[in-house]
């Protein structure tokens, strides 16, 4: 009886230990499974007042949606990475601070490759080239047809933009630097500024949508033509991934297609 009792106790103890081990293993596998199924995110920083690059619309469900050809490029980058795209809309002047802090992973927002920016962020290859434009009230279109005619004027520009740098080089110019392009257009229409310097396709979009303004024949020139994707300094792996996607989109004509579609959408 004594031996049989000891044997029974041993069997019960072994059964308990095996059951506990099974539960631990199942819990571990469950935890690991949840981790592998979790989709990684790619957080995009942009300023969605820059049609056709990025702008707000009401979609077919009546919901606010951020669209534009920069957004389409970001979607392709996320897809190639197997990541879910998350968009953070903010004022343009705060984008690089958000990138440096790690609160966003990439910035795609009509970002020009200036030498100053190259010191603080990684920059992709140029994915699109566009000219700058001078926008005036229709009555003043011919009056401000040259860069020399802009000297001493009140000029509206977006804060921390290449256009702001251009305006600073115009002798006697008095700058009004604002966060949003739409606010600059309001300043122009109300006569608070004489002209605005805006990136070409963006200017065209506003001219088609806002009465009383026109693009003049004055053509600002800058060495920083073209637009790039901004990535946090030192993240070469992400930079390579972005450039790989951009190579594909440039070679297969997708970017030109995105530009055309976004331009059409921005004037509806």
Task: Give residue-wise pLDDT tens across range 86-111.
Answer: 999 999 999 999 999 999 999 999 89
User: What does the alpha-carbon distance between residue 228 and residue 246 come to, in Å, rounded to a whole number?
Assistant: 10
The pLDDT mean for the chain works out to 87
Q: Which of 196, 199, 140 is nearest to 170 (CA)?
A: 196
Band of residue 36 on the pLDDT scale cut at 50, 70, 90: very low
Domains in the chain with CATH codes:
41-129+226-266 (3.40.190.10), 132-215 (3.40.190.10)
Determine the pLDDT at residue 266: 81
Between these two residues, 175 and 14, which has the higher pLDDT value? 175
Please tell me whether the overall predicted TM-score, pTM, comes out greater than 0.75 for this model. no
Determine the pLDDT at residue 158: 92
Task: Give residue-wise pLDDT tens across range 197-241.
Answer: 998 888 988 998 899 999 999 999 876 668 999 999 999 999 999
pLDDT at 23 over 90: no
């Amino acid at each position: 009886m004594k031996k049989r009792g000891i044997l029974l106790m041993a069997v019960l103890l072994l059964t308990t230990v095996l059951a506990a081990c099974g539960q631990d293993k199942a819990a571990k596998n469950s935890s690991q499974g949840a981790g592998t199924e979790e989709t990684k995110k790619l957080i995009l920083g942009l300023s969605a007042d820059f049609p056709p690059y990025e702008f707000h619309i009401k979609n077919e469900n009546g919901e606010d949606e951020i669209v534009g050809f920069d957004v389409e490029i970001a979607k392709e980058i996320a897809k190639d990475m197997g990541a879910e795209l998350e968009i953070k809309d903010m004022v343009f002047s705060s984008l690089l601070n958000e990138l440096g802090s790690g609160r966003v992973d990439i910035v795609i927002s009509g970002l020009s490759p200036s030498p100053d920016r190259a010191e603080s962020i990684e920059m992709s290859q140029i994915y699109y080239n566009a000219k700058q434009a001078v926008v005036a009230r229709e009555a003043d279109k011919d009056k401000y047809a040259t860069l020399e005619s802009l000297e001493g004027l009140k000029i509206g520009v977006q804060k921390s933009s290449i256009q702001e740098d251009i305006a600073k080089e115009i002798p006697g110019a008095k700058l009004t630097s604002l966060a949003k392009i739409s606010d600059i257009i309001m300043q122009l229409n109300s006569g608070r500024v004489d002209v605005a310097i805006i990136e070409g396709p963006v200017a065209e979009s506003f001219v088609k949508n806002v009465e009383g303004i026109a693009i003049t024949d004055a053509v600002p020139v800058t060495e920083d033509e073209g637009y790039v994707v901004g990535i946090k300094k030192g993240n070469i792996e992400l930079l390579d991934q972005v450039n790989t996607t951009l190579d594909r989109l440039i070679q297969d004509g997708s970017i030109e297609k995105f530009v055309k579609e976004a331009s059409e959408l921005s004037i509806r």
